[in-house]
């Protein structure tokens, strides 16, 4: 991706930059909640953006697929029904996304733009969104994005990208951000970044060195073709008995996954008025596949656990040629049963 220009923003000036972004945009960024957890949340003030966060526990998925979304409202009268669509989405910025979360947006894009029924509410919100990614020089031990071919300094598929740079006496402490402008949407943010200096020769060298060091940390890639072939052959294997056994079906992995996109459609009615509402759901819940008759094709947690792995590493790869897992490690971090998807993939790869 061609870089249009690069500006250097001192870390101390990031609130001013974020504040300028908030003029005319809703901004979702890493923040710390009242419990001290790092989460993606909508900013009320620019100082709330936290640049000490690693990968926030709550992903940025809500910017593209809200937890609760009104698809339309309606009013019924005798012999007539009036349907009102929701207002057009406001311009918004998803700020500070790790490259694995950017890859997750690509997964959502593939699913919700698929023919024959592209999802218009999603596509409208996506068109109104500017993506600003962020590079990472350190990696949490639970994060395995590199094994999936995602470099933490990769700026592809972003409209702009922040590269952390050290400076002065603190050689290993981020003191500046290099803002790379990559697309027309990035250029449209000029009023927010125009007051900051352009990158000089030393800055460009520091950016190149940061990417060189990140690339040098390469690890063996997971062989997705092998994993997909194994999954095609072990659907009825006893291996699933062991894989599902610890799972308690809480759904935490799905709700904190940046690519999980299962939803339910509900009707909210009060008198003559009502709304059709889309809400997050998960294939890990018994109710998700229970028919009105009471029959459930995924009667036990075994079938539901198998569906999750098949969807992420077989069905998604087969249909969209992209894994539905980005190696962010959130599911590992929050699982109360200490299930580790890396271990599951190893067992699948090694299964004979």
- The domains of the chain are located at 5-60+87-216, 224-350
How far is Cα 114 from Cα 147, in angstroms, rounded to an integer? 27
Rounded to whole angstroms, the Cα distance separating 234 from 302 reads 13
Q: For each of the chain's 352 residues, which pLDDT tens digit applies?
A: 688 999 999 999 999 999 999 999 999 999 999 999 999 999 999 999 999 999 999 999 999 999 999 999 999 998 899 999 999 999 999 999 999 999 999 999 999 999 999 999 999 999 999 999 999 988 889 999 999 999 999 999 999 999 999 865 445 678 999 999 999 999 999 999 999 999 999 999 999 999 999 999 989 999 999 999 999 999 999 999 988 999 999 999 999 999 999 999 999 999 999 999 999 999 999 999 999 999 999 989 999 999 999 999 999 999 999 999 999 999 999 999 999 999 999 999 888 7
According to the model, what pLDDT value does residue 172 have?
A: 61
Report pLDDT for 2. 83
Omega of the bond prior to 44 within 30 degrees of 0, cis? no
Can you give the pLDDT at residue 53?
Answer: 92
Name the pTM for this structure.
0.94
Q: Is the separation of the CB atoms in 107 and 315 below 8 Å?
A: no
Using alpha carbons, select from 164, 181, 196, 54 the residue that is nearest to residue 130: 181
pLDDT value of residue 169: 46
Count other C-beta atoms under 10 Å from residue 225's C-beta: 9
Q: State the Cα–Cα distance between residues 188 and 204, nearest whole angstrom.
A: 23
Judge whether 35 and 58 are in contact, CB under 8 Å. no
Q: Which residues contact 148 (CB under 8 A, 6 or more apart)?
A: 100, 103, 221, 222, 224, 323, 325, 326, 327
* Paired tokens of 35: 């419990």
Phi, psi of 272 (to 5 degrees): -90, -5
β-pairing verdict for 160-167 and 170-181? antiparallel
80-91 burial: b if 16+ Cβ within 10 Å, else e: eeeeeeeeebee
Q: What is the DSSP string of 223-261?
A: -HHHHHHHHHH-TT-THHHHHHTT-----HHHHT-SS--
Predicted local confidence at residue 218, as pLDDT: 84
Distance (Å, whole) CA 44 – CA 171: 33
């Amino acid at each position: 991706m061609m870089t249009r220009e690069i500006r250097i923003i001192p870390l101390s000036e990031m609130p001013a930059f974020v504040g300028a972004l908030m003029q005319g945009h809703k901004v979702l960024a890493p923040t710390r909640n009242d419990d001290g957890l790092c989460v993606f949340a909508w900013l009320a003030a620019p100082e709330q953006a936290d640049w000490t966060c690693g990968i926030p526990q709550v992903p940025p998925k809500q910017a593209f697929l809200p937890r609760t979304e009104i698809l339309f409202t309606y009013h019924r009268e005798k012999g007539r029904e009036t349907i009102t669509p929701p207002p057009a989405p406001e311009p918004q910025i998803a700020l500070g996304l790790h490259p694995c979360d950017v890859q997750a947006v690509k997964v959502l894009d593939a699913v919700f733009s698929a023919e024959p029924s592209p999802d218009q509410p999603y596509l409208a919100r996506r068109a109104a969104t500017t993506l600003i990614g962020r590079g990472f020089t350190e990696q949490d031990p639970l994060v395995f994005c590199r094994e999936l071919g995602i470099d933490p300094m990769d700026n592809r598929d972003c409209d702009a990208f922040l590269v952390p740079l050290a400076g002065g006496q603190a050689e290993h402490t981020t003191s500046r951000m290099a803002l790379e402008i990559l697309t027309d949407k990035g250029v449209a943010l000029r009023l927010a970044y125009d007051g900051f200096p352009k990158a000089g020769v030393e800055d460009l060298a520091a950016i190149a060195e940061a990417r060189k060091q990140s690339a040098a940390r390469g690890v063996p890639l997971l062989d997705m073709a092998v994993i997909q072939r194994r999954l095609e052959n072990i659907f009825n294997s006893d291996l699933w008995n062991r894989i599902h056994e610890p799972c308690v079906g809480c759904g935490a992995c799905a709700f904190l996954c940046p690519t999980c996109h299962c939803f339910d459609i509900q009707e909210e009615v009060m008198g003559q008025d009502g709304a059709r509402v889309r809400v997050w759901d998960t294939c890990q819940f018994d109710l998700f596949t229970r028919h009105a008759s009471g029959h459930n094709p995924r009667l036990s947690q075994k079938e539901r656990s198998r569906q999750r792995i098949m969807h992420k590493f077989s069905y998604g790869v087969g249909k969209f040629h992209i894994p539905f897992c980005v190696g962010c490690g959130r599911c590992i971090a929050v699982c109360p049963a200490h299930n580790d998807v890396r271990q599951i993939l190893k067992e699948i790869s090694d299964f004979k």
